[in-house]
Structure 1
Amino acid sequence: MIRAVVLDIGETLVRDDRYWGAWAAWLQVPRHTVSALVGAVVADGRDNADALRLVSPGIDVASSNAAREAAGRGEFLDESDLYPDVRPALAELRSRGLRVVVAGNQTARAGEFLRGLDLPVDVIATSGDWGHAKPDPEFFRCVRDATGVEEHETVHVGDHPAHDIFAAHAAGFRTAHLRRGPWGYFWADDPAVVKTADWCVDSLTDLVGALAD
């Protein structure tokens, strides 16, 4: 029996175009350049921050983030960054008595913005809050504590094969792969993803229906 749903953040709830566009402006290159490089590292199975390192070799992403904040050009999220199906899907999941947790590899600042949106969820946390990032097993121990139920009673939803599907499965969670964003689209038909995921969905609306079935 499923009692909790845990949802990734980037390209699951929130579009990443503002995030990458802000980096393009900071590094003074066209948005298309950064977008294309993100696609290249996705296809190569590399960390998405490698796209920034290709533009600016040797960049310290954390220090650059701090510099952006100091310059008033730091991280920002608002309602317009949410995918249209997010609020209704989250509300429906909660109405069915499921505990809904949002947890992803984002900064503590991103977590503050998300909590400010008053989403219909029980917990919002980020790797910046917890000090552990996916696919570290410690991240998933924090997820387990946040849900308050057993791993096999929880569905972890996300777009990234290594961070969301394989790591959550290894930690004992049920998994749902979301075909959304560059990782979700690129890896949607990968045999290992299809085999590992308990569900493969095209939207959070589809997820609600799949769990109901």
Structure 2
Amino acid sequence: MLRAVLLDVDFTLFRPGPELGPEGYVRAAARHGIELDPALHDAARIAALDDLQRHPEFEHDEEIWVTFTADIVRGMGGAGDAVRACASDVVREWERHENFFLYDDALPAIAALRSYGLRIGLVSNGQRDLEEFAEHHGLDVDVCVGSAHHGYVKPHPSIFETALAALDVVPEEAAMVGDSTEDDVEGARALGMRAVLLDREGRHPEWVGAIRTLDELPAALGLGVPSDRRS
């Protein structure tokens, strides 16, 4: 029986704001004397993702994200010694809670999960303090496990295990929901959890069972009538 749901954060519940998008990169670069083309951002980010080299043991490593961001800056036309300083500034912006905005379906989805009597945890890779982040945005969750504090990133099993232990459930009683096939879905399934891929932009049409919005989540989890509506 499903007792708990773990939720990814970035691109699942939240979208990054302007400071983390093309124009934010342009403004950050300008402070370092670098001129970037915002039209190149999306292609540069995809290329940087393809080249992203994780820590071999999935340890949380800020340097990986600075290198990743520097690749985006170069892909947008940046060059020279100031690229790394620019990238570091952008990475710092990912730690600011106000730079993120909830998707319209996020809070209703959390409320819907609560109506089924489920416990909820957040599991995220990134630099931010996840507990402070959840409090800042008023999220009704039971536990937060962020890689910066935990020490390992998804799909390392320990980050899921830590959240499950805090929720007092075993893997077979929990599901993971996120936008990454490797980090969220495959990582959770390797541990014995159920998993649902949230594919907001339709990038994985081949993925059976993927959903496009969180409105579809209760049905994807096979949930019936909410406990608060049973007679």
Instruction: Give TM-score, length-normalised by structure 2.
Output: 0.72
In the other structure, the counterpart of 2:58 is none
| 3-state SS of paired residue (2:169) | coil
What's the Cα RMSD here?
3.0
Superposed displacement of residue 93, structure 1: 0.4
In the other structure, the counterpart of 1:20 is 21
In the other structure, the counterpart of 1:9 is 9
Counterparts of 2:108 and 2:123 in 1: how far apart (Å)?
Answer: 18
Structure whose alpha-carbon radius of gyration is higher: 2
Counterparts of 2:140 and 2:213 in 1: how far apart (Å)?
Answer: 17
Whether 1:36 and 2:37 are equivalent positions in the alignment is: no
Superposed displacement of residue 41, structure 1: 4.0
Counterparts of 1:78 and 1:208 in 2: how far apart (Å)?
Answer: 29
2:213 to 182, 188, 203: 203
Tell me, yes or no, if the aligned pair for 1:24 and 1:34 is still in contact at 8 Å.
no
Structure 1 pair 24–8 and aligned structure 2 pair: CA distance change class (3 A): farther
Counterparts of 1:68 and 1:105 in 2: how far apart (Å)?
Answer: 13
Superposed displacement of residue 108, structure 1: 3.1
Counterparts of 1:156 and 1:45 in 2: how far apart (Å)?
Answer: 26
Counterparts of 2:194 and 2:131 in 1: how far apart (Å)?
Answer: 24
Superposed displacement of residue 138, structure 1: 2.0
Letter in 2 for 1:32: A
In the other structure, the counterpart of 1:132 is 152
Counterparts of 2:96 and 2:39 in 1: how far apart (Å)?
Answer: 20
In the other structure, the counterpart of 1:141 is 161
| 3-state SS of paired residue (1:5) | strand
1:102 to 112, 118, 122: 122
Tell me, yes or no, if the aligned pair for 1:85 and 1:203 is still in contact at 8 Å.
yes
Aligned residues: 197
In the other structure, the counterpart of 1:53 is 71
| 3-state SS of paired residue (2:210) | strand
Superposed displacement of residue 52, structure 1: 3.1
Superposed displacement of residue 165, structure 1: 1.1
Counterparts of 2:51 and 2:91 in 1: how far apart (Å)?
Answer: 27
Letter in 2 for 1:179: D
1:189 to 205, 227, 231: 205
Instruction: Give TM-score, length-normalised by structure 1.
Output: 0.77
In the other structure, the counterpart of 2:227 is none
Tell me, yes or no, if the aligned pair for 1:79 and 1:117 is still in contact at 8 Å.
no
Letter in 1 for 2:185: I
The residue correspondences of 1:39-118 to structure 2 (distance < 5 A) are 39-42=46-49, 44=50, 46=52, 49=65, 50=68, 52-56=70-74, 64-65=88-89, 69=92, 75-78=95-98, 81-109=101-129, 111-118=131-138
Counterparts of 2:102 and 2:144 in 1: how far apart (Å)?
Answer: 15
Structure 1 pair 136–120 and aligned structure 2 pair: CA distance change class (3 A): same
Q: Which runs of 5+ in 2 are unaligned?
A: 31-35, 54-63, 225-231
Counterparts of 1:7 and 1:116 in 2: how far apart (Å)?
Answer: 17
Amino-acid identity (%): 29
In the other structure, the counterpart of 2:181 is 161
